[in-house]
Every structure is written in C-alpha cells, then in structure tokens.
C-alpha cells in the first residue's frame, strides 16, 4: 500500500518539523514535538509515504475530551483523503477511550480545514476573537463522539 498510518516515533520528529514549516505560518519545532512524545496525555498518528511522514494529527486526552492539537498534510498529498483518514482514526481512539467529545480550534479564515471538519460532522460551538497573533478569530468546533457512534450504527 502507498500510504501507511503509524504511531509517532522519535526518528520522525525532524520530518514533522519540516512538514510544519510547509503547512503553518507559526510552525511547531522539533523540540515541541519531542515534548509531545513525552506527554502521556498526547496521542499522535503519522501517515507515511514511501517511509516518509506526509501527514500527521495529534490530540490531548483531557478528562472526557480529546482536544485536537493539529492536523497537517503535505501540500503534494492533499485532497486524497489523508486528513479524513486521520480524523476517522482519532474518532475510533475516542470511542475506545470512551470520550464524550472531540474539540478543536481553527482559524476563521482557514476554509479548507473548516470544510474538512464540517464534512465529518464537527459543528461550531464558539468563537475566540483575535486569538491568532491578536488579529484572526478562532472558531471552536466540537464533535460529539457518541453521536458519531449512533450515526455509524444507523449507517451500518
Ligand atoms: C486542511 C488539511 C489538513 C486538509 O487535508 P487533506 O488531506 O487535503 O483533506 P482531505 O483530502 O481528507 O479532505 C477531506 C474533505 O475536506 C474538505 N476539504 C479539504 N481540503 C479542502 C479545500 N482546499 N477546499 C475545500 N474543501 C476542502 C473537502 O470536503 C474534502 O472532501 P473532498 O476532497 O471529497 O471534497 C490540509 O489542507 C492542510 O494540511 N492544510 C494546512 C494545515 C492546516 O490548516 N491544518 C488545519 C489546522 S486547524
């Protein structure tokens, strides 16, 4: 298979930091990812293409919530369903951990990401004004994990 999902390991951190630079105006560094690897509440998954990370997603387990930290896909590998596949994997983890909600923050101007989340059933629950660099609003979005389960059962 072309793409493979894997658990984040230390040898992937420098590639992830490079991926961040391609995807975000304020990228996470290798040191920040190392901190995530050492954080027992953090869960990360990476998608490898020919052994190299081309997409990743992270989440913090906080009480009965999964707080999504980041989702990023290399520009050459977008619109192939990789982000969707990662989010589905995290919904499965959330069900396994018996979480009630997945939560996230997204820049109000990040239409690709907002479309992605809405296509998976996330809904807006709030707004933080001027949250990013003091000038761009953040939308707060949730997905009810149990609702997702009911939907999946109805469709199966
Ligand atoms: C947002 C991002 C993660 C999407 O990754 P992706 O792998 O291309 O997304 P997918 O292929 O899984 O797309 C799934 C659905 O999301 C929506 N979507 C994704 N990219 C979109 C775009 N550029 N415009 C409109 N809708 C989009 C579509 O509904 C798409 O389904 P479709 O392709 O059948 O129309 C990617 O563009 C990215 O890494 N952006 C930079 C980092 C970022 O903004 N991360 C989110 C931070 S909150």
**Using 50, 70 and 90 to split pLDDT, how confident is the model at 148?**
low
Note if 117 is an active site residue: yes
**Using 50, 70 and 90 to split pLDDT, how confident is the model at 93?**
very high
Cα gap 152→138, rounded to integer Å: 29
Span from the CA of 113 to the centroid of ligand 1 (angstroms): 5
Q: What average pLDDT score do residues 11-33 get? A: 97
**Count of domains in the chain?**
1
Nearest-CA residue for atom 48 of ligand 1 = 106
The finding on whether 23 has its CB within 6 A of some atom of ligand 1 is yes
Residues 116-129: tens digit of each pLDDT: 999 999 999 999 99
State the sign of the Cα–Cα–Cα–Cα dihedral 2, 9, 85, 112: negative
The finding on whether 72 has its CB within 6 A of some atom of ligand 1 is yes
Q: What is the pLDDT of residue 156?
A: 41
User: Which among 105, 131, 132, 136 is annotated as catalytic?
Assistant: 105
The helix, strand and coil proportions of the chain, stated in percent and rounded to the nearest 5, come to 40, 40, 25
Judged against a pLDDT cut of 70, whether residue 18 lies above it is answered with: yes
In our burial notation (b when 16+ CB lie closer than 10 A, e otherwise), range 69-94 reads bbbbbbeeeeeeebbeebbeebbebb
Q: What is the pLDDT of residue 146?
A: 80
Span from the CA of 82 to the centroid of ligand 1 (angstroms): 9
Q: What is the pLDDT of residue 17?
A: 97
Q: What average pLDDT score do residues 136-141 get? A: 98
Nearest-CA residue for atom 24 of ligand 1 = 112
Residue 45 domain boundaries: 3-155
Mutate to test the pocket of ligand 1, among 116, 121, 140 (most ligand atoms within 8 A of CB): 116
Q: What is the pLDDT of residue 94?
A: 97
Span from the CA of 108 to the centroid of ligand 1 (angstroms): 15
Q: What CATH code is carried by the domain that includes residue 29?
A: 3.40.630.30
């Amino acid at each position: 298979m072309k793409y493979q999902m894997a658990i984040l390991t230390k040898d992937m951190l420098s590639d992830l930091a490079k991926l961040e630079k391609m995807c975000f105006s304020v990228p996470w560094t290798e040191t920040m990812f190392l901190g995530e690897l050492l954080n027992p509440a953090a869960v990360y998954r990476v998608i490898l293409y020919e052994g190299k990370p081309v997409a990743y997603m992270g989440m913090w387990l906080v009480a009965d919530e999964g707080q999504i930290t980041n989702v990023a896909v290399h520009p050459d590998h977008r619109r192939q369903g990789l982000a969707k596949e990662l989010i589905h994997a995290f919904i499965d983890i959330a069900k396994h951990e018996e979480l009630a909600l997945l939560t996230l923050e997204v820049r109000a101007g990040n239409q690709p990401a907002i479309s992605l989340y809405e296509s998976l059933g996330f809904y807006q629950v709030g707004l933080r004004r001027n949250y990013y660099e003091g000038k761009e609003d953040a939308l707060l979005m949730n997905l009810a994990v149990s609702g997702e389960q009911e939907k999946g059962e109805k469709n199966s």
